[in-house]
Amino acid sequence: MKRLFKGLRGHSPEASYDAVIIGAGIGGLICANLLARESLRVLLVEQHYMVGGYCSTFRRKGFTFDAATHFYPLLGNPATITGKLLRELGVTNGWVKMDPVDHFHFPDGSTFAVPADFDTYLSKLKQEFPHEVESLDRFFTLVREVYLSGLLTYFRWRETDRLDQYSQMTVREALDQHFRDRKLKLLLAADCGHWGSPPSRTSFVFDSMLRLSYFLGNYYPRGGSQVFADELALRFEELGGHILTSAKINRIVVRNKSACGVEVSTTNAQHYVNAGVVISNADLLLTLEQLIEPDHVDRERVACIRSLRPTHPCFLVHVGLKGMETEVLRAAHGYHWDSWDSDRVATNSFKIFVPTLYEPEMAPAGGHIVIVQKLTDIDYDSIEDWAGHKAKVEAYIMQNLERVMPGFTEKVVVKLSASALTSHRFTLNHKGAMLGWEMSPDQLGANRPALNGLLKNLYFVGHWTQPGGGITPVIVSAMQVAGKITNTPKALANSSPGLERSDNPGDAFAREDPNPERVCPGTNPFRVHHEFEKTNPGLSLRSNPGDAFARKDPNPERVCPGTNPFRVHHEFEKTNPGLSLRSNPGLKLANAFGVTKLNQRFRR
């Protein structure tokens, strides 16, 4: 498959870079682009000959198959944080919006298609479950509130007591508290396979964030996942970055408790590359246990990380078809359940995805592609006969495809399957995990490995670190790390409408100034701190990136004396005409995610 980017192709990497990134998954690619955009000299090292990680493709007999990831929430919507970022990075590849978002097939033979418009979706739920109308209203009111608070907590690293009573709640618990109808409870958890864990071990907050993001746009990339990943690599090279593929990192060089370079092997040579910082988009345990010498990392911390639960691996069957009717495939598309218990997602459920419904060019003329995803609940280390395991799961899937679509087997042109071992072989993900560590309540926030802190100048991006797994959290991790390294406003500031960027975290603030050339009328960004502090004794803007304010209040329970945190917005606007703090954090953040209706709730 011809790739868009060049790579070093036989050329040695330079002796020194500002940053070396290990792993060219989407997290590594986004981080590389953001650092190169700030004029850092960056080397991106990938052990495979292709970039993209799980977001890649392969070809067989004229069919182009997505290796793993097949849907991309938000990325095609330029009004969202991630969609806007891709546009800023110059990504021009098109996106096909999915509508319906998904289909569910239930044990009783009934189906439910999820429309892409939220109001239509909610109305449809109420029509099908009239006895649960009030419960549905209460549930989705809570989902909206938890969604916005979750963005602040997990994507902006801002504490809020609004999540206190929900932070430890699972999807299963939330559904059981609100509903009695077993079919409705399954419907609202029927896509839980995308988390790689059952609802009883999946965070309600994280699930709410993804649930609402679907209605801001769920997309499939034109040309497939590889085209998207390759364009990110191309844009990185256009910014001056270097990509070294088919290369193995042997170790991260550590001196004086600081990461300062890497030792990397290619086909014909071994290279020692100095680095100002090292960023790992690779498997976290591999990084800590194999790439860093044991005496440089606290073994107890590594043991704690190893005790975390990974998500289930996802078994995949890729099928190329000839002569299969499109409408038959369209009707079979989606999640299939033969149990009413959503916790049996790894045993009684599978998903049929037909990418050629969105991008016909993925198959030869007259052909179609079917990709079946099935979580597997296995003890990875105890499996000795991987070929037998693979044959057994593949047979189960093919039997079900024939049951759902009679005559399916005789239309097959090519068929391949991928087990947890396959996923590990190509991506080196621990036990072939689908999305890093589980997004369970006890493995999020401070309980999930941080972006840095184990060693000076060593950072982590991807689904093994904060905030979590899935395309949007992975991109957020890359934005956060790039912001830390380049000393720019944290995380979403560069991509949130209404935020002004400066060279120093904490100097940016939201403005509603009609003059786009000014940060604050007639002054440089630092003046606003002085003006704010003069007119608001005891408060400061200096210590927090974005428009958040630091308090100088001896009472640690209060944000500002005797008031709710949002009063400072009003005080600031009264004394600083033309300026506003309302855009961040939370209020403008909601706009960036397309949830403008939630702003009013957050001002209470």
Out of 11-20, 21-30, 65-74, 239-248, least confident range: 65-74
Residue 96 included in any domain: no
Sequence-distant (≥ 6) Cβ neighbours of residue 131 within 8 angstroms: 181
Residues 265 and 304 in one domain: yes
499 — pLDDT class (breaks 50, 70, 90): very low
Q: Give the closest residue to 458 by CA, choosing from 276, 217, 201, 213.
A: 276
Measured between alpha carbons, how far is 559 from 201 in angstroms, rounded to an integer?
A: 33
In 43-132, where does DSSP find H-type helix?
A: 81-88, 118-128
Residue 531 included in any domain: yes
Check pLDDT > 70 for residue 580. Answer: no
Residues 293 and 321 in one domain: no
Residues 122 and 212 in one domain: yes
Measured between alpha carbons, how far is 20 from 465 in angstroms, rounded to an integer?
A: 18
Q: What's 161's domain CATH number? A: 1.10.405
Q: Give the closest residue to 595 by CA, choosing from 310, 211, 295, 301.
A: 211
Q: Could you say which of 418, 447, 468 is where a domain stops?
A: 418
Residues 318 and 301 in one domain: no
Check pLDDT > 70 for residue 379. Answer: yes
Indicate the residue type of 300. E
For 190, the token pair is 């029927």
Residues 454-466, mean pLDDT to the nearest whole number: 96
Residues 457 and 479 in one domain: yes
Residue 88 included in any domain: no
Measured between alpha carbons, how far is 453 from 297 in angstroms, rounded to an integer?
A: 11
Residues 350 and 282 in one domain: no
Q: Could you say which of 372, 388, 418 is where a domain stops?
A: 418
260 and 275 in contact (C-beta within 8 Å)?
Answer: yes
Residue 74 included in any domain: no
Indicate the residue type of 13. P
Q: Compute the half-sphere exposure of residue 596: CA atoms within 13 Å on the CB side of its CA.
A: 5
Could you list the residue range(s) of the whole structural domain that residue 184 is in? 102-216
How far is Cα of residue 340 from the mean position of the Cα atoms in its chain?
Answer: 29
Q: Give the closest residue to 276 by CA, choosing from 456, 454, 18.
A: 18
Residue 85 included in any domain: no
Residues 69-75, mean pLDDT to the nearest whole number: 90
Domain count for the chain, please give it: 4
Residue 178 included in any domain: yes
Instruction: Tell me the residue length of the chain.
Output: 604
1 — pLDDT class (breaks 50, 70, 90): low
Check pLDDT > 80 for residue 297. Answer: yes
In 239-310, where does DSSP find H-type helix?
A: 284-286, 299-306
Measured between alpha carbons, how far is 482 from 246 in angstroms, rounded to an integer?
A: 25
Looking at residue 577, its pLDDT comes to 52
Read off the pLDDT of residues 315-364 as tens digits, 9 standing for 90 and up. 999 999 999 999 999 999 999 999 999 999 999 999 999 999 999 999 99
Check pLDDT > 70 for residue 411. Answer: yes
For 532, the token pair is 């704010």
Percent of the chain surpassing pLDDT 70: 80
Q: What's 304's domain CATH number? A: 3.50.50.60
Check pLDDT > 70 for residue 383. Answer: yes
Residues 304 and 448 in one domain: yes
Residue 112 included in any domain: yes
Q: What's 381's domain CATH number? A: 3.30.70
Q: Could you say which of 390, 418, 446 is where a domain stops?
A: 418
Residues 47 and 113 in one domain: no
Out of 20-34, 78-92, 414-428, 486-500, least confident range: 486-500
Residues 521 and 597 in one domain: yes
Local structure of residue 98 (DSSP, 8 states) = P
Read off the pLDDT of residues 132-177 as tens digits, 9 standing for 90 and up. 999 999 999 999 999 999 988 888 888 888 888 999 999 999 999 9
Read off the pLDDT of residues 180-192 as tens digits, 9 standing for 90 and up. 999 999 999 999 9
Indicate the residue type of 230. D
Residues 291 and 357 in one domain: no
217 and 99 in contact (C-beta within 8 Å)?
Answer: no
- How many separate helices (H) and strands (E) can be counted in the chain? 18, 21
Residue 360 included in any domain: yes
252 and 278 in contact (C-beta within 8 Å)?
Answer: yes
Q: State the helix-helix crossing angle for 133-150 and 118-128, rounded to 10 degrees.
A: 150
Residues 376 and 449 in one domain: no
CB burial string 234-259: b at 16+ within 10 A, e below: bbbbebebbbbbebebeebbbeeeeb
Residues 258 and 343 in one domain: no
Please name the helix (run of DSSP H) or strand (run of DSSP E) that holds residue 234, with its range, or none: helix 225-238
